A and B are shown apart, each in its own frame.
Chain A
Amino acid sequence: MDNLISAIGTAFNLLSTFDPEVIEITTRTLEITFTSVLICTIVALPLGTLINFSTFRGKKTLISLIQTLYALPTVIVGLVCYMLLSRTGPLGFLGFLFTPSGMIFGQTILVIPIMTGLTIAALQGINPTITDTIRSLGANRLQFLLSHLREARYVIMAAVVIGFSRAISEVGAAIMIGGNIKGHTRVLTTAISLQTSMGNFELSLALGIILLGIALIINIMMGYLQQR
């Protein structure tokens, strides 16, 4: 318990003194996470919409598969991405291994199923009378899709928050693809992992509190947007 209380103190201390290393790690964490969530949103929203409004054989199976991928172990994503991005791998030419770009790549793979699946769920949750109303009012194909996304926007915002939370808190892929290189690919979670293995529990907890603080701010911002 004492450890926890002093960890909170340490966290405030690190932030209030603008500890250069903590600031650097936090900034990198945010850059990587925001970029991957942005890519995921750009891909998952149209993908989920397309799947939801198309009729094809195996649609239910595909949706089940996407939902199964919510449980994708981060280490497995890390391992597969490592194999893909390594110099001898099929994507080795990108030179992404042990770079923030590689970490963004990994997080994107990890989060896309969640955001796609939740987009589908959000659209399926729309009252069928709303769908009838949209068609009946004379929406063309694009207006039809945009009106549905607009109607589902609060649930989709929640999906983005969940995707963000999954991306910012994962350590398996970040460590395997990024390699936790100081000043280059070290992020909050990999730093926590390192400090814990070195026995610096207090510092680990302090970094954890900073991470949760970021998640809290994001949630408050989303809550504000939803209430508008």
Chain B
Amino acid sequence: MIRLDAISKAFGEKLVLDKVSAEIPRGKIFTIIGPSGQGKTTLLRLINLLDTPTRGMIYFDGKSLHEQSQDVTALRRRMGMVFQTPIAFKDTVFANIAVGLRYRGIARDEIEKRVYQKLDEIGLSGYENRKAGTLSGGEMQRVSLARVMVTEPDLLLLDEPTANLDPLSTSKIEELIRYYNRKQGTTVIMSSHDLFQGQRMADMIAVMMGGRFIQTDETVKVFSEPCSADVARFIGIQNVLSGHVTGREDGMMRVDLGGVTVLAMNTLPDDRVIVAIRPEDITLYNEPDGKMSARNVISGTITGIRPYGIISHVMVACGQIVLAVQVTWQAVRDMSLTPGQEVILSFKAPSVHVMPDDESSSGQF
């Protein structure tokens, strides 16, 4: 449906997008996640023909978008974009949703039929004569979505559509996006700095950092197999450590993380590697337990406890490294965990995710 072929965009001296390539299949939700200010908005604007790439090509159903001969208006009418800031025309809710249809010269009774249907879908029936300026941010963003979807676009572009909204409005917008993706088969490209939103919504995720897609994969793969230390940290893995391989046997490798050796299930040929272990994959014991079956058992000292709602992260120093371990708030109390206490950590070899130590990727930011 959409193919990005080495897209670069510079504003003056500043390179905002650096050879971004991807293939977005029809009917899928493709989410670009990454910290703010990394080029996500710029990329969406290029696809919507609101800007022109400095280099590279964007293909929409095989046709190059930014060629001189293309009818820009006709192409734009096959897409729709919802912007980050909820915004409405100084007009009624009805007029706001009808704008795109009026541009397309649709007959008045057809406009009326379609707008009322959209009002119903977004849960704002009866709001048609309200001034759009009096709506809340969440309602206004739903109107923005309806304004685009009423034109039945093949491609829906969403630039951080919930960045300025409360959690309830966010889930309503997400629900609507999924609804339109399923019901109308609309291909969706959305950007988000919220990785959980990416996880909830996307069929495919592209992680964008420093103007590049540093990993483009199926959603589950990005979360289970981050390709670099930066991606691992961005998707919320706290324990990201560098080490070197000291031995290999039967599809396993031993990695020295600085005084502590862990066993990982991996056959990567590199000597220098990055290791990521999720805090929730580590089990914490007060003392050695006979039931421990995991391949990795190490001892350490608690240096601190950070509460996050009903769970806590216990920071444990093992040799020269500190690992975060996720335990419930209840367990912290039951095991009477306190800083300075000696504990045993255990985790399975498959929980240790190994990546090549790409100096350039971690040195970039």
Taking Cβ atoms with an 8 Å cutoff, the residues of A that contact B are 127, 129-130, 132-140, 143, 147, 150-151, 153-154
- Report yes or no: B87 in contact with A140, Cβ–Cβ below 8 A: no
Once the chains bind, are A143 and B89 in contact (CB under 8 Å)?
no
Kindly supply a per-residue 1/0 record for chain B positions 80-105, scoring 1 wherever the CB is within 8 Å of any chain A CB and 0 otherwise.
11010101011100000001101110
Complex Cα distance, B151 from A139, in Å, reads: 12
Chain A's closest residue to B81 (CB) is: A136
Partner of B83, one of A132, A147, A150, A153: A132
Docked complex Cα distance between A143 and B89 (Å) = 14
14 additional contacts (CB under 8 A) given A133-B147, A137-B80, A154-B90: A129-B83, A129-B85, A133-B83, A133-B87, A133-B89, A135-B50, A136-B50, A136-B79, A136-B80, A137-B76, A137-B148, A138-B100, A140-B73, A143-B102
Expressed in whole angstroms, the minimum distance between the Cβ of A138 and any Cβ of chain B is 4
| Contact A130:B50 (CB < 8 A) given known A138-B76, A138-B104, A139-B103 | no
Closest CB in chain A relative to B306 CB, distance in Å: 39
Q: Is the beta-carbon distance between B100 and A137 smaller than 8 angstroms?
A: yes
Q: Do residues A147 and B99 form an inter-chain contact, with CB atoms below 8 A?
A: yes
In the complex, the answer to whether B151 meets A137 with C-beta atoms within 8 Å is yes
Taking chain A's interface residues, is the majority helix, strand, or loop, or is none over half, making it mixed? helix
* Minimum Cβ distance to chain A for residue B42 (Å): 13
Query: CA of A139 to CA of B99 in the docked complex: distance in angstroms?
Result: 9
Q: Count the B residues whose beta carbon is within 8 Å of the partner chain — how many? A: 24
User: From residue A109, how far is it (CB to closest CB) to chain B in Å?
Assistant: 32
B77 CB-CB contact with A under 8 Å: yes
Q: Report if A151-B90 is in contact (Cβ < 8 Å); known contacts: A138-B76, A140-B103.
A: yes
- The answer for the CA separation of A133 and B97 in the assembled complex, in Å, is 12
In the complex, what distance in Å separates the CA atom of A136 from the CA atom of B148?
Answer: 9
A-B pairs, 9 with minimum CB distance: A138-B77, A137-B100, A136-B81, A138-B76, A129-B87, A139-B103, A129-B83, A143-B103, A138-B103
Q: Check A136–B87 contact: CB distance below 8 A.
A: no
Say yes or no: is B191 at the interface (Cβ < 8 Å to chain A): no
Q: Once bound together, how far apart are the Cα atoms of A143 and B99, in whole Å? A: 10
- Give chain B residues whose Cβ lies under 8 Å from the Cβ of A154: 90
Contact A130 B103 (CB under 8 A): no
CB-based contact B73/A138 at 8 Å: yes
CB neighbours of A150 from chain B (8 A): 89, 91
B89 neighbours in A (Cβ, 8 Å)? 130, 133, 147, 150-151
**CB-defined contacts of B91 to chain A, threshold 8 Å:** 150
Interface residue ranges, B against A (CB under 8 Å): 45, 48, 50, 73, 76-77, 79-81, 83, 85, 87, 89-91, 99-100, 102-104, 144, 147-148, 151
Question: Do B103 and A137 have beta carbons less than 8 Å apart?
Answer: yes
Cα A129 to Cα B48 with chains together (Å): 14
On whether the beta carbons of B76 and A135 are closer than 8 Å, the reply is: yes
A124–B115 CA distance with the chains assembled, in angstroms: 30
In the complex, the answer to whether A137 meets B99 with C-beta atoms within 8 Å is yes
Q: How far is the CA of A111 from the CA of B91 in the complex (A)?
A: 29
CB-CB under 8 A from A134, the residues of chain B are 99
Shortest Cβ distance from A130 into B: residue: B87
- Residues of chain B lying within 8 A (CB to CB) of residue A136: 48, 50, 76, 79-81
CB contacts (< 8 Å) of B76 on chain A: these are 135-138
Which residues on the B side are within 8 Å of A135 (C-beta)? 50, 76
Bound-complex Cα distance A154 to B89 (A): 12
Q: Which residue in chain B gives the minimum CB-CB distance to A143?
A: B103
Cα-based distance from A30 to B85 in the complex (angstroms): 45
Q: Which residues of A contact B83 (CB under 8 A)?
A: 129, 132-133
Which residues on the A side are within 8 Å of B77 (C-beta)? 138
- 5 A-B pairs within 8 Å (CB atoms) are namely A127-B85, A137-B76, A137-B80, A140-B73, A140-B103
Given the complex of chains A and B, what is the CA–CA distance between A154 and B131 in angstroms?
Answer: 14
Which residues of the other chain, A, contact B151 by a CB distance below 8 angstroms? 137-138
> In the docked arrangement, what's the CA distance between A154 and B100, Å?
22
Separation of A153 and B95 alpha carbons in the complex (Å): 15
Q: Could you tell me the distance between the alpha carbons of A154 and B80 in the complex, rounded to whole angstroms?
A: 28
Measured between beta carbons, the chain A residues less than 8 angstroms from B80 are 136-137
Q: Give the Cβ gap from B119 to chain A, nearest Cβ, in Å.
A: 18
| Chain B residues, CB < 8 A from A130 | 87, 89
Q: Which of A137, A139, A143, A153 contacts B147 (CB 8 A)?
A: A137
* Chain B positions within 8 Å of A133 at CB level: 81, 83, 87, 89, 144, 147
Once the chains are docked, how many angstroms separate the CA of A198 from the CA of B147? Answer: 65
CB distance from A21 to the nearest CB of B (A): 45
Q: How far is the CB of A105 from chain B (nearest CB, A)?
A: 35
Taking the closest CB of chain A, its distance from the CB of B34, in whole angstroms, is: 21
Q: Considering the chains assembled together, what is the distance between the CA atoms of A154 and B91 in angstroms?
A: 11
A39 CA / B85 CA spacing, docked (Å): 39
- How far apart are the CA atoms of A135 and B79 in the complex, in Å? 11
Closest approach, in angstroms, between the C-beta of B190 and any C-beta of chain A? 15
Do the beta carbons of A127 and B87 come within 8 Å of each other?
yes
C-alpha spacing A130/B76, complex, angstroms: 16
